[in-house]
Amino acid sequence: MTDYPHPIIAREGWLFISLSLLAALGIGFFAGWVWSIPLWIVFAFCVQFFRDPPRFAPAGEKCVLSPADGRIVVIEPARDPWLDRDCLKISVFMNVFNVHSNRSPVDGQVVQRWYHPGEFVNAALDKASIANERNALHIRTRHGLDITCVQVAGLIARRILCYVDAGAELTRGQRYGFIRFGSRVDLYLPPDTRAKVGVGEAVKATTTILAELP
């Protein structure tokens, strides 16, 4: 099992869950439980949004694992805007009902990290890759291949969290960040990488193999 420092509920959600629970209990106690129903719905949403189950990584050194739960929206040849190279781009879109922890797709070292402020258009649109707020990691695998993993904010996402920087060693499936609320992750892979998923396919972080490296 991958490293997992805060099981079941992501630490990023503790404040939101606690406040919504206290609000629901307070309104229910002082104004009546019927009036508290909307707040219980908010509480239930926060619990499901910030759930963060442990995941098991499949075997295979050349496998690129999904960095996020969601749906594949892009598989295409592209230009990596961070490393200025031709690549295969695979994008995972996360809606508000997906687990939003981001996990490393490969074993490797973070060579560089970039943060770029931007807009908050719908993350399902390809425009989001170049217009929205985003945080990118250049990861070099143990076999010397370069991968760019980019967290992209969405329409209602207002916070990208990343807990690693240049020099960090990552293992496949290791949790490295979180995005609130609704977003996407773009992967820029070597051009001769072979995709193992299709557009529209539902994927899960760590457990789904997105591609196979050359």
Is 183 in the active site?
Answer: yes
Which position has the higher pLDDT, 119 or 73?
73
pLDDT surpasses 50 at 2: no
Q: Which residues make Cβ contacts (< 8 Å) with residue 29, sequence separation at least 6?
A: none
The full set of domain ranges for the chain reads 8-52, 63-212
Active-site entry in 66, 91, 129, 183: 183
Task: Phi first, then psi: give them for residue 55, nearest 5 degrees.
Answer: -130, 150
pLDDT digits (tens, 9 = 90+) for 148-161: 999 988 666 567 88
Which CATH number is associated with domain 63-212? 2.70.70
Least confident of 96-110, 112-126, 127-141, 197-211: 112-126
The CA–CA distances, whole Å, from 32 to 18, 24, 25 equal 20, 10, 10
Instruction: Assign 137 a pLDDT band (cuts: 50, 70, 90).
Output: very high
Whole-number Å distance between alpha carbons of 83 and 184: 19
Q: What is the reported pTM?
A: 0.83
